[in-house]
């Protein structure tokens, strides 16, 4: 049983949709209609009227493309971080010759609002404003869900565009997409479709900035996706689109509020079973994501992961980077946001650490 925080296990109906013969995306209107319907349905999952687009590439493509599309050389970008993905945005900004200012908090702490406000105020005072700010909703490697609202309040106050990595929260918990200029998702997390598609909700304001910037890359560029009525930028990933369309239909049938509730119940069960086993959450419960739970097991995480797979055929993940051996992660997202499955996973962990 695959229980990693992405790629998640994919339901049989979604896998079967992928095995159907596909229409040609360049020639047959049937494909364009499916794509349009998918984008409209994703607006419901995102809870927004912003345009939603679905380029063909793994989720990280969206993060890079948002920066490549918005950031001109010399543009100042405020990168707000309390984890690896938050920090990674600064590397993308560097790649496109932007000027990244990284405001980092500890990985088990919330965003540093005072430091963020100070950076925004300093920039205003120096008459050298930030063009945009980057944030991460769910820091998957630590299982942290960040409260975006106070930061979005500040960004609105200082009139700074927002780019949010919501890859592992979208479809699992509400995301304030209407307040976000570029809100990024991916097929293989809570949507429980195979990896290979980026999703992005883009505000009119963000489109206008891209139009002005005139990004020239084809593949790391969101702009050609604004209007695909005359054709897609390249041959679309037809089977992946069919799978995501089926996955999103399933979420809509269940009802997005019910889906969010299901994630809350699965997360709550996971944490409760952890408490019973004497495990510590990483971070504390107030920041724990409803889509992935990180348990703090300094120095033991990789051993526990291997034994759970060897003895119980359940595939978990550890963290990444410096914390790779310190956190074991249970990915109760999407198809795996299920109390019964969480119980099976926690039974296995209980057995291994007994």
Contact residues for a copy of itself, defined by CB under 8 A:
2, 4, 6-7, 9-10, 15-16, 18-28, 56-61, 64-65, 68, 92, 94-95, 188, 194-196, 216-220, 233-240, 243, 305, 315, 317
Between 12 and 278, whose beta carbon lies closer to a copy of itself? 12
Between 88 and 274, whose beta carbon lies closer to a copy of itself? 88
Q: Could you tell me which of 352, 270, 354 has the C-alpha nearest to residue 308?
A: 352
Q: Could you tell me which of 173, 142, 165, 116 has the C-alpha nearest to residue 287?
A: 142
Between 119 and 308, whose beta carbon lies closer to a copy of itself? 308
Q: How far is the CB of 203 from a copy of itself (least distance, A)?
A: 23
Please state, in angstroms and rounded to a whole number, the distance separating the CA atoms of residues 307 and 114. 43
Q: How far is the CB of 152 from a copy of itself (least distance, A)?
A: 27
Find the helix or strand (DSSP H, E) in which 59 lies. helix 59-70
Q: How far is the CB of 154 from a copy of itself (least distance, A)?
A: 29
Tokens of 326: 């310190």
Q: Could you tell me which of 277, 311, 291 has the C-alpha nearest to residue 1?
A: 311
Q: How far is the CB of 21 from a copy of itself (least distance, A)?
A: 7
Is 24:311 a contact under the CB 8 Å cutoff? no
Query: Could you give the C-alpha distances from 344 to 83, 92, 314, 327, in angstroms and in order?
Result: 29, 39, 9, 19
Between 84 and 154, whose beta carbon lies closer to a copy of itself? 84
Q: How far is the CB of 260 from a copy of itself (least distance, A)?
A: 24
Judged by DSSP in three states, 144 sits in: strand
Between 116 and 242, whose beta carbon lies closer to a copy of itself? 242
Residues 6+ apart with CB under 8 A from 118: none
Between 227 and 234, whose beta carbon lies closer to a copy of itself? 234
Q: How far is the CB of 298 from a copy of itself (least distance, A)?
A: 20
Q: Could you tell me which of 118, 152, 122, 123 has the C-alpha nearest to residue 135?
A: 152
Angle between helices 59-70 and 84-95 (to 10 degrees): 40
Between 77 and 155, whose beta carbon lies closer to a copy of itself? 77
Q: How far is the CB of 307 from a copy of itself (least distance, A)?
A: 14
Please state, in angstroms and rounded to a whole number, the distance separating the CA atoms of residues 261 and 3. 19
């Amino acid at each position: 049983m695959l229980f990693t925080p992405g790629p998640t296990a994919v339901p049989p109906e979604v896998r079967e949709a992928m095995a159907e013969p596909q229409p040609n995306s360049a020639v047959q209107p049937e494909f364009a209609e499916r794509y349009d319907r998918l984008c409209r349905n994703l607006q419901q999952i995102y809870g927004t009227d912003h345009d939603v687009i679905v380029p063909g590439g793994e989720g990280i493509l969206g993060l890079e493309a948002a920066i490549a599309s918005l950031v001109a050389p010399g543009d100042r970008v405020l990168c707000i971080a309390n984890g690896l993905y938050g920090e990674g945005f600064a590397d993308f900004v560097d790649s496109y010759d932007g000027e990244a200012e990284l405001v980092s908090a500890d990985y088990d702490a919330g965003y540093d609002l005072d430091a963020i406000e100070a950076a925004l105020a300093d920039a205003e005072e120096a008459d050298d404003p930030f063009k945009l700010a980057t944030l991460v909703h769910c820091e998957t490697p630590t299982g942290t869900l960040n409260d975006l609202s106070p930061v979005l309040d500040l960004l609105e106050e200082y009139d700074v565009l927002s780019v949010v990595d919501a890859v592992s929260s979208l479809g699992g918990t509400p995301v304030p997409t209407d307040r976000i200029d570029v809100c990024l998702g991916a097929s293989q997390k809570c949507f429980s479709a195979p990896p290979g598609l980026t999703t992005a909700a883009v505000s009119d304001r963000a489109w206008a900035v891209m139009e002005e910037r005139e990004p020239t890359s084809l593949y790391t560029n969101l702009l050609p996706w604004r209007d695909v009525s005359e054709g897609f930028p390249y041959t679309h990933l037809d089977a992946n689109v069919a799978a995501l369309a089926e996955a999103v239909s399933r979420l809509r049938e269940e009802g997005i509020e019910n889906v969010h509730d299901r994630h809350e119940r699965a997360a709550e069960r996971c944490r409760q079973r952890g408490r019973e086993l004497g495990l510590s959450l990483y971070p504390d419960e107030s920041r724990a994501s409803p889509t992935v739970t990180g348990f703090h097991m300094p120095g033991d995480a990789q051993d526990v992961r291997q034994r759970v797979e060897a003895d119980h055929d359940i595939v978990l993940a550890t963290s990444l980077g410096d914390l790779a051996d310190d956190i074991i992660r249970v990915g109760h997202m999407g198809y795996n946001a299920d109390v019964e499955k969480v119980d099976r996973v926690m039974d296995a962990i209980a057995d291994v650490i007994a």
